[in-house]
Amino acid sequence: MSQETNYTEENIRSLDWKEHIRMRPGMYIGKLGDGSSPDDGIYILLKEVIDNSIDEFVMGAGKTIEISIQGNKVIVRDFGRGIPLGKVVDVVSKMNTGGKYDSRAFKKSVGLNGVGTKAVNALSTYFRVESTRDGKSASAEFEYGELTNQDLLDDTSRRKGTKVSFIPDESIFKNYKFRNEYIEKMLKNYVYLNPGLTIVFNGEKFYSENGLKDLLEENIKESDTLYPIIHLKGSDIEVAITHSKTQYSEEYHSFVNGQNTTQGGTHLAAFREAYVKTIREFYNKNYEAADVRKSIVSAVSIKVMEPVFESQTKTKLGSTDMGGNLPTVRTYVNDFLKTHLDNFLHKNPETADKLQRKILQAERERKELSGIRKLAKERAKKASLHNKKLRDCRVHLDDLKNDRRLDTTLFITEGDSASGSITKSRDVNTQAVFSLRGKPLNSYGMSKKIVYENEEFNLLQAALNIEESMEDLRYNNIVIATDADVDGMHIRLLLITFFLQFFPELIKEGHLYILQTPLFRVRNKKKTIYCYSEQERRDAIEELKPKPEITRFKGLGEISPDEFKHFIGDDMRLDPIMLDKDMSIEELLEFYMGKNTPDRQDFIINNLKVELDIVGAEDENK
């Protein structure tokens, strides 16, 4: 018989603002992470501070934002109106305190809940805010959210504005590192959405004159566009549209009040619907929606009064109304496209003709594939019932709360031993495993037909749920987990080729990673150190004097499930797969998977040297 647990007044606790944020950080910033993913917490902290500076620019105050990141210390300086001096401490340490509750001071702002900078403060070992206005300055310093110092200067020659400095807490964001690639993409989005704004990051300037048109030009090579980018602007809406010559699926960049809504929302759903409706009416043909949108590359930005987002991280818009006296989001977007896109196509018959031919080509391809797709779906459904290629997590993406949605991961492994180790070690709530059978097919240069005809690709596509749209992606992180040998490298390359060829937006949106696993285990009776490089091995040997036991892991299957827990848990190391902005996908695939040119042979030889050095060092140790 179970013993009854006492439940009294002593069990009831009241947490202050910083304790609650530190105890439940996911409620405020989504997932934590180490900086290897663009939606990791350290970037959300940075974004929360920058958003306040952006709101100043939107209100006509301050045209420049200066950002510096040296090591783990972040400094953001704007030249806006400055925080009212008597409220400097309150706005960064009192929940539900801020100027954005007053629509006279901030209109169409992203930050409405008075939470952002409080979360940054509470989750930082060091936080400092300084405001300058009317020739006076006030500052406050905090540690772990606790006020440690504050000053008020009656006379200063500093320019007006706000300066925020912080160092994220390494006990919360373990082993974190800021990646400039992610920060630069974030900053580019800010300037695309705010033409006339200059952001200076570690000395490099970011500026845009043409808004979302510049964004699409950054994301798609001119040689890959079917027609020149269509750029349309209204008072509270801006869209840019083109179609890719080579890409199969749809690609969208969506924004609300300057916030990158990576999970879309009501405005993106309205755009996709309105675009199809406008195209059908223009050509007076009831084309299939999938044919109309196939290969589209587009960006849409709207401004909404008091937007409602589905989580504190503001990645998905939930608002159905534009606010004020404006109509619903759906009606507003539909009316805008119906007028402006229709007018554009009438004035540009050459673009209209290319677009229609693209739709007709998509229609032909869809009909050719219809029988194959039906059989492929049946095979995928049958396979999911009768084999164990996919060992799913307990809760699916649609069922997850917003604070756990970003943690869902699919490991793609090769071989029963490797997949078995990961399966036994994983977090069954959020981590799934897909087991490959042998090396995947080299899909370079093949048509989409191969995705349905090849069992491995068909089942992988079904597991990810990405056939129709990235909006239905079931796992936020897709991790290739293969051995760190020549065969493992080849499998990685073949899988990356598959995603580049058919689902490049998975990579563009930062969903694809390589799992790092240790090459060595160095231990003595008191301590075990896992080493991911030859240098780490040397450092571990030095630390664990005298002669420690050294084990070289030759494959994932050799690592016991108990040990594997360390490598796919809180300390998991991931290398993100990123696209070189100066090289098109076509050029990438041709270089890596085309004929063996001298350039590629040189690249392989030079990059194999690292692996050969490791093997050589291991032989010396024997």
Shared domain check, 573 and 495: yes
Shared domain check, 248 and 164: no
Residue 372, domain member (yes or no): no
Q: What is the pLDDT of residue 231?
A: 97
Cβ count near 343 (within 10 Å): 11
Q: Please state, in angstroms and rounded to a whole number, the distance separating the CA atoms of residues 57 and 54.
A: 5
pLDDT per position as a tens digit, 399-414: 544 446 678 899 999 8
Residue 538, domain member (yes or no): no
H or E element at residue 543: helix 534-543
With helix as H, strand as E and coil as C, how does 70-87 read?
A: ECCEEEEEECCCCCCHHH
Residue 17: is its pLDDT beyond 80? Answer: no
How confident is the model over 358-377, as a mean pLDDT? 84
Residue 191: is its pLDDT beyond 50? Answer: yes
Q: What is the pLDDT of residue 454?
A: 86
Tell me which of 150, 183, 207 is where a domain ends. 207
Banded pLDDT at 378 (limits 50, 70, 90): confident
Residue 85, domain member (yes or no): yes
Q: Please state, in angstroms and rounded to a whole number, the distance separating the CA atoms of residues 234 and 173.
A: 41
Shared domain check, 412 and 351: no
Residues with Cβ < 8 Å from 349, sequence gap 6 or more? none
Residue 87, domain member (yes or no): yes
Q: What is the pLDDT of residue 581?
A: 63
Comparing CA positions, the residue from 270, 250, 251, 272 lying closest to residue 317 is 270
Residue 102: is its pLDDT beyond 70? Answer: no
Q: Please state, in angstroms and rounded to a whole number, the distance separating the CA atoms of residues 532 and 554.
A: 12
Question: Looking at residue 460, which CATH number applies to its domain?
Answer: 3.40.50.670
Reading the block at residue 372, the tokens are: 């194959």
Residue 597, domain member (yes or no): no
Cβ count near 171 (within 10 Å): 10
Reading the block at residue 471, the tokens are: 């909006």
List Cα–Cα distances, 198 to 116, 239, 287, 555, in angstroms. 23, 22, 43, 49
How much helix, strand and coil, in percent to the nearest 5, is found in the chain?
A: 45, 20, 35
Cα-Cα-Cα-Cα torsion 163, 169, 170, 176, nearest 10 degrees, comes to -40
Specify which residues 383 forms β-bridges with.
none
Parallel, antiparallel, or unpaired: how do β-strands 512-516 and 528-531 relate? unpaired
How confident is the model over 405-429, as a mean pLDDT? 84
Banded pLDDT at 9 (limits 50, 70, 90): low
Reading the block at residue 574, the tokens are: 């991931």
Find tokens 């440690």 and name the residue. Answer: 148
Sign, CA torsion 547/552/557/558 = negative
Q: What is the pLDDT of residue 559?
A: 81
Shared domain check, 262 and 123: no
pLDDT per position as a tens digit, 54-78: 989 988 888 999 999 999 999 999 9
Residues with Cβ < 8 Å from 37, sequence gap 6 or more? 31, 477, 510, 513, 574, 576
More confident residue, 235 or 126: 126
Of the given ranges (78-87, 376-385, 404-413, 460-469), which has the lowest mean pLDDT? 376-385
Tell me which of 331, 366, 401 is where a domain ends. 366
Shared domain check, 485 and 361: no
Banded pLDDT at 612 (limits 50, 70, 90): very low
More confident residue, 229 or 16: 229
Q: Please state, in angstroms and rounded to a whole number, the distance separating the CA atoms of residues 85 and 77.
A: 16
Chain centroid offset of residue 325 CA:
34
Q: What is the mean pLDDT of the chain?
A: 82
pLDDT per position as a tens digit, 133-189: 988 999 999 999 999 999 888 777 788 999 999 999 999 998 899 999 999 999 999
Specify which residues 549 forms β-bridges with.
523
Compute and round to an integer the Cα radius of gyration of the chain: 26
Q: What is the DSSP letter of 526?
A: S
Q: What is the pLDDT of residue 356?
A: 95
Collapsing DSSP to helix, strand or coil, 563 comes out as: helix
Question: Looking at residue 109, which CATH number applies to its domain?
Answer: 3.30.565.10
How confident is the model over 297-322, as a mean pLDDT? 77
pLDDT per position as a tens digit, 534-571: 899 999 999 998 888 998 887 787 788 888 888 888 77
Residues with Cβ < 8 Å from 171, sequence gap 6 or more? none
Of the given ranges (251-260, 318-327, 518-527), which has the lowest mean pLDDT? 318-327
Q: What is the pLDDT of residue 112?
A: 43
Residue 534, domain member (yes or no): no
Q: Please state, in angstroms and rounded to a whole number, the distance separating the CA atoms of residues 594 and 587.
A: 10
Banded pLDDT at 420 (limits 50, 70, 90): confident
Q: Please state, in angstroms and rounded to a whole number, the distance separating the CA atoms of residues 276 and 286.
A: 9
Express as a percent the part of the chain with pLDDT over 70. 82
Q: Are 183 and 200 in contact (CB under 8 A)?
A: no
The total number of structural domains that make up the chain: 3
Tell me which of 366, 395, 414 is where a domain ends. 366
Parallel, antiparallel, or unpaired: how do β-strands 146-153 and 230-233 relate? unpaired
Shared domain check, 180 and 238: no
Q: What is the pLDDT of residue 66?
A: 97
Residue 66, domain member (yes or no): yes
Q: What is the DSSP letter of 441?
A: P
Residue 487: is its pLDDT beyond 80? Answer: yes
Residues with Cβ < 8 Å from 21, sequence gap 6 or more? 27, 28, 118, 119, 122, 123, 145
393: left (phi over 0), alpha (psi -120 to 50) or beta: beta
Residue 531: is its pLDDT beyond 80? Answer: yes
Shared domain check, 400 and 281: no
Q: What is the pLDDT of residue 11?
A: 53
Residue 188, domain member (yes or no): yes
How confident is the model over 107-123, as a mean pLDDT? 69
Q: What is the pLDDT of residue 415?
A: 74
Banded pLDDT at 616 (limits 50, 70, 90): very low
Collapsing DSSP to helix, strand or coil, 92 comes out as: helix
Residue 120: is its pLDDT beyond 90? Answer: yes
Shared domain check, 147 and 24: yes
Sign, CA torsion 469/471/474/475 = positive
Shared domain check, 198 and 223: no
List Cα–Cα distances, 193 to 186, 189, 258, 579, in angstroms. 11, 6, 6, 22
Q: What is the DSSP letter of 523?
A: E
Question: Looking at residue 320, which CATH number applies to its domain?
Answer: 3.30.230.10
**What secondary structure does DSSP assign to 223-281, as a single string?**
GGBSSPPEEEE-SSEEEEEEEBSS--S-EEEEEETTEE-TT-BHHHHHHHHHHHHHHHH
Shared domain check, 81 and 186: yes
Q: Please state, in angstroms and rounded to a whole number, the distance separating the CA atoms of residues 319 and 216.
A: 26
Banded pLDDT at 467 (limits 50, 70, 90): confident
Q: Please state, in angstroms and rounded to a whole number, the distance separating the CA atoms of residues 122 and 119.
A: 5
Shared domain check, 145 and 110: yes
Of the given ranges (113-117, 186-190, 334-338), which has the lowest mean pLDDT? 113-117
Q: Are 390 and 434 in contact (CB under 8 A)?
A: yes
Residue 269: is its pLDDT beyond 80? Answer: yes
- Domain hosting residue 445, numbered range: 387-517+553-582
Shared domain check, 222 and 190: no
